[in-house]
């Protein structure tokens, strides 16, 4: 994959709000990073973690993410630098990490994007 100086910036690819928290992930010049902040003070970073499996390495790769009420992050993104290993991955929260089958390109490449439908069971 060729890289240009334009692509080596930090593209924000995940932006999730849960309660008073803001969870963001960016490409960080092909080294994805995620941060947790409070909505009342966006300049203060509470946690910084690897964005691997939560955010694509490249701004050209499709991705989507969801934050549950329980604090789990579900992300559908490329798991590797070249984008050959698309997966849906669960991380954070109290449940153990979980991912779809490795190197199954049908998981994310059937559509150009994935729409998440999330229904709060308490509202049903």
Token look-up 């995620």 returns 34
Q: Which residues pair with 90 in a beta bridge?
A: 74, 98
pLDDT (tens, 9 = 90+) of the chain, 124 residues, equals 555 666 568 999 999 999 999 999 999 999 999 999 999 999 999 999 999 999 999 998 989 999 998 899 999 998 899 988 888 999 999 999 999 888 776 666 554 444 444 444 444 4
pTM of this structure: 0.78
């Amino acid at each position: 994959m060729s890289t240009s100086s334009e692509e080596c910036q930090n593209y924000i690819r995940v932006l999730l709000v849960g309660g008073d928290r803001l969870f963001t992930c960016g490409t960080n010049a092909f080294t994805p990073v995620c941060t947790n902040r409070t909505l009342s003070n966006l300049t203060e970073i509470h946690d910084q973690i690897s964005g691997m499996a939560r955010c694509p390495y490249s701004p050209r790769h499709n991705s989507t993410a969801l934050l549950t009420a329980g604090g789990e992050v579900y992300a559908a993104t490329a798991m590797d630098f070249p984008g050959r290993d698309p997966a849906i991955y669960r991380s954070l929260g109290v449940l153990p990490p979980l991912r779809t089958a490795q190197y199954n390109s049908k998981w994310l490449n059937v559509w150009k994007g994935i729409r998440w439908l999330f229904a709060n069971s308490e509202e049903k």
